[in-house]
């Protein structure tokens, strides 16, 4: 297959950036999107040009590193996959494909298609864990958890932290990311103890870092490669309101 690529190039955080056009040919329909970019980069190296920088690692859809905005959609046209698991068979031969980085104030561009997502780490550091030290845990089967709660918690825990939800949202809100963690923890007896403090601290941090508000358009759910449901946002809001009520008492 042959493609024209319109790719965002930006030399650094201070550079204004621009689109550049490239052609790639003879691409196998079974190649992944990132393998297609590898082929482009080989071509650029051949021509003594600087390759396109993009983040990637596992190439299996689990590490959350790849973060490409393809034809106006985070991770591109296929449902429930990351860009590394997107295959070229989902494009039309001869198509022009536009590739951009995530665009959000809280995710500044580092270079080309690479962005800085350390804001996500900061939100987790604010409270996205159970405060248990190594060695102080009771026997794992001492607290039963209903299968239903365990499965629901797992759904939230499946978040890969890629940031597609932020990139998809017109307000660049991190609500789905934050809710997935708050909800996972609130559903498990181990996480319930700190549930209120956690919700307050993580939400405050999200606001502080420049993410926007949630206006319930659900673009995040539609674009999440792990299909995490917005029902977690509802659970987060409940946790947050409970916490507020308690602190006002």
**Contacts with ligand FES, residue ranges (CB under 6 A):** 56-59, 61-66, 82, 84
Long-range contacts, stretch 132-140, CB < 8 angstroms, 24+ apart: 132/190
Select the residue interacting with another protein from 2, 49, 213, 247 (CB under 8 A).
49
Instruction: Pick the stretch among 54-62, 170-178, 229-237, 241-249 that binds another protein (CB under 8 A).
Output: 54-62
Residue 15 in the binding site for another protein (CB under 8 A): no
Q: Does 31 bind another protein (CB under 8 A)?
A: yes
- Does residue number 231 form part of the binding site for another protein (CB under 8 A)? no
Q: Is 59 in the site for another protein (CB under 8 A)?
A: yes
Q: Which stretch binds another protein (CB under 8 A): 15-23, 151-159, 215-223, 239-247?
A: 151-159
229 is an interface residue for another protein by CB under 8 A = no
Q: Which is nearer to another protein, 38 or 217 (CB)?
A: 38
DSSP string, the chain: --EEEEEEE-SSTTS--EEEEEEE-S--TTSBHHHHHHHHHHHHHHTT-PPPP---S-SSS-S-----EETTEET-SSTT--GGG-BGGGS-TT-EEEEE----TTS-EEETTEE--HHHHHHHHTT-S----TT-PPPTTSS---HHHHHHHHHHHT-----HHHHH-TT-B-HHHHHHHHHHHHHSHHHHTTHHHHHHHHHHHHHHTT-B---S--HHHHH-TT---THHHHHHHHHHHHHHHHHH-
CB within 8 Å of 42: residues ≥ 6 apart: none
| Nearest CB to ligand FES, comparing residues 85 and 212 | 85
Q: How far apart are CA 29 and CA 112, in angstroms?
A: 25
**CB nearer to ligand FES: pick between 76 and 191:** 76
- Cβ proximity to another protein, 9 vs 217, nearer residue: 9
40 lies in the binding site for another protein (CB under 8 A): no
Residue 92 binds another protein (CB under 8 A):
no
List the x/- string, 124-143, binding to another protein by CB under 8 A. Answer: xxxxxxxxxxxxxxxxxx-x
Q: Give the nearest distance from C-beta 96 to another protein in angstroms.
A: 21
Residue 229 contact partner, candidates ligand FES, another protein, none, CB within 5 to 8 A by sort of partner: none
Q: How far is the CB of 248 from another protein (least distance, A)?
A: 26
**197 touches, from ligand FES, another protein, none (C-beta below 5 to 8 Å by class):** none
């Amino acid at each position: 297959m042959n493609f024209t690529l319109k790719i965002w190039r930006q030399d650094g955080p201070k550079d204004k950036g621009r689109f550049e056009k490239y052609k790639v040919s003879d691409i196998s329909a079974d190649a992944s999107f990132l393998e297609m970019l590898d082929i482009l980069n080989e071509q650029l190296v051949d021509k003594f040009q600087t390759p396109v920088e993009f983040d990637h690692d596992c190439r299996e859809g689990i590490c959350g590193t790849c973060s490409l905005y393809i034809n106006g959609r985070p991770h591109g046209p296929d449902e429930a996959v990351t860009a590394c698991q997107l295959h070229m068979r989902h494009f039309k031969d001869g198509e022009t494909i536009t590739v951009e980085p995530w665009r959000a104030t809280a995710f500044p561009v580092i270079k080309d298609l690479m962005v800085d997502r350390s804001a996500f780490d900061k939100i987790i550091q604010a409270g996205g864990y159970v405060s248990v030290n190594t060695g102080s845990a009771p026997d794992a089967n001492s607290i039963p958890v209903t299968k239903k709660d365990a499965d629901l918690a797992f759904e939230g825990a499946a978040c890969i932290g890629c940031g597609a939800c932020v990139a998809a949202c017109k307000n660049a809100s991190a609500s789905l990311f934050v809710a997935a963690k708050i909800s996972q923890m609130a559903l498990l007896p181990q996480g319930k103890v700190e549930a209120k403090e956690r919700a307050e601290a993580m939400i405050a941090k999200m606001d502080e870092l420049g993410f926007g508000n949630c206006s319930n358009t659900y673009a995040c759910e539609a674009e999440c490669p792990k299909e995490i449901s917005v029902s977690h946002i509802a659970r987060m809001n409940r946790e947050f309101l409970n916490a507020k009520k308690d602190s006002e008492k």
